Amino acid sequence: MLTQAEVLTLHRSLSGERVLSVYIDGSAADPAEQRSWRTQLDHHLDKIRHSLDKTLPGEEDRLEKCLGLLSSALAGLEPSIGAPGWAAFVTSGQVHESAPLSSGTPTLAKWRTGAYLAPYFRALKDNRQAVVIVADATEATIYVHRAGVLERRDKIRAHHPVDPPQHMGTPPLPGFHTGTRGPTGHDMAQRALLKGRDRMLADTAARVAELADGDTWVVLGGIKKVTSQLEGELASTAPHRVITLPSLDVHASDAEIAAGARAGAAELRDAADAKRIGEIVGAAAAHGLGAVGAAATKYALEQACVRDLYVTDRHLGRYERDAEDAVRAALDQGALVEEVSGKAAELLDAEGGIAAGLRFRPAPIGGGARAERS
């Protein structure tokens, strides 16, 4: 599956070509429903054939070549797809991308100049890496989860060097007298255990810092007292990117850990998106670096001052053409594009379903004022 940067590269490389963009929904669990995507896809392809503008020179030939390449790409797919979704972008000369998606999209096909990318961002938002740590007082296991794949990366154990007690239960050393009250062997062992645990958590936090760059979610599970301390250790490394899941315990299977990674990442992402949407709405209200609603966002895109663009599924469904134009314009200026969900989508739908953070404030419509940069 492509990254955000690779989607931008694909967009730019295909911007002037006729492209057959195909998406397949592989989320069906019922075997009978798993086969329905072929029927749905054939329906969309038939619509493309019937609506083809044959007055364009070579248009029919280009489409038929694309359909032949698509048929070859589909030949190896199982009815279940083997993933929540699948996408391909085909020109008359080659298949530029055909790969599973980490989340589902509706089955559809589009024939137009440039790749149809708006649905891809529905899957892309679930492709962000998450580091998962499951820990108790004796060990921490570190996993990396990305695009539906869970990989165990490291196991860090606590080492407890315990010196034998000097005199409790053994003959007193020379110079020892009964009036001295020293630590018991049990006390010394407990301190050693705590010291070993603290060292383990510090080492774990350091390892997570290596794995979790500024775009990575961090999901914690295990013993509550331990995860609370580890969350504190990670506060400076991954601010606002750490979540503890009480349901994720030390006996969790790999499948349960992967599910926890998805759930924790989704909750963190929705919280971060809601915060960002709130900032943009506030900035727009104060005539700052924010544009909210279709008209204001379109104008900001035309002025090439967009830093990040946010849309909702509802907006994409209702205004497909306009939404795709907005996505393409944002990619043309190197902006981040994201489809939001959850609380963030509720906030954004109340404001028209589309918004943008700005690099600088464009001049008012009609000109006059000089643009103000951040």
For 311-362, the pLDDT digits (tens) are: 999 999 899 999 999 999 999 999 999 999 899 999 999 999 999 999 999 9
State pLDDT tens for residues 58-100.
999 999 999 999 999 999 788 778 888 999 999 999 999 999 9
**Considering the domain boundaries, does residue 266 fall inside one?**
no
Calculate mean pLDDT across residues 125-140.
Answer: 89
**Which pLDDT band, with edges at 50, 70 and 90, does 174 fall under?**
low
Decide the pairing of beta strands 85-90 and 306-312.
Answer: unpaired
CATH number of the domain that residue 344 is part of: 3.30.1330.30
* Residue 239 scores a pLDDT above 70: yes
- The answer on 137 and 82 residing in a single domain is no
Which residues form the domain of 186?
Answer: 130-170+182-252
pLDDT at 180 over 70: no
Note whether residue 79 is domain-resident. yes
Q: Which of 149-163, 308-322, 356-370 comes out lowest in average pLDDT?
A: 356-370
For residue 1, pLDDT beyond 90: no
* Residue 19 is assigned to a structural domain of this protein: yes
pLDDT beyond 50 at 374: no
Same domain membership, residue 119 and residue 12: yes
| DSSP state letter for 276 | H
pLDDT at 369 over 50: no
pLDDT at res. 183: 58
Into how many domains does the chain fold?
3
Token pair listed for 371: 């643009």
Residues 237 and 291 in one domain: no
pTM of the model: 0.79
Same domain, 242 and 285: no
> Average pLDDT for residues 211-235, to the nearest whole number?
91
Based on the domain organization, do 111 and 10 belong to the same domain? yes
In a domain, 152, yes or no: yes
Same domain, 311 and 369: yes
CB 151 within 8 A of CB 144: yes
Q: List all residues 6 or more positions away from 132 whose beta carbon is below 8 Å from its beta carbon.
A: 142, 143, 144, 145, 150, 218, 219, 220, 221, 248, 257, 260, 261, 264
pLDDT of residue 363: 83
In the block, which residue shows the tokens 């053994």? 170
- Same domain, yes or no: 137 and 95: no
Same domain for 136 and 96 = no
Is the domain of 149 the same as that of 194?
Answer: yes
| pLDDT, mean of residues 30-55 | 88
The C-alpha atoms of residue 132 and residue 97 are separated, in whole angstroms, by 30
Residues in the chain: 374
Say if 262 falls within a structural domain. Answer: no
Question: In sequence order, what DSSP letters do the residues of 290-351 get, joined into one string?
Answer: EEESHHHHHHHHHTT-EEEEEEEHHHHHHSHHHHHHHHHHHHHTT-EEEEE-HHHHHHHHTT
**Average pLDDT of the residues of the chain:** 87
Q: What is the arithmetic mean of pLDDT over 252-258?
A: 95
Percent of residues, the chain, with pLDDT higher than 70: 88
Asked if residue 160 and residue 47 are part of one domain, the reply reads no
Q: Tell me which of 219, 252, 285 is where a domain ends.
A: 252
* 187 against 175, higher pLDDT: 187
pLDDT band of 243, cuts 50, 70, 90 = very high
**Average pLDDT of the segment spanning 170-181:** 53
**For the chain, what percent of residues have pLDDT higher than 90?**
63
| DSSP letter for each residue of 127-156 | -S-EEEEEE-SSEEEEEEEETTEEEEEEEE
Q: Is residue 275 part of a domain?
A: yes
What CATH number has the domain bearing residue 223?
3.30.420.60
Q: With respect to residue 259, please indicate whether it lies within any of the assigned structural domains.
A: no
> Greater confidence, 175 or 217?
217
Q: Is pLDDT of 140 > 90?
A: yes
Q: Looking at the domain assignment, is residue 175 inside a domain?
A: no
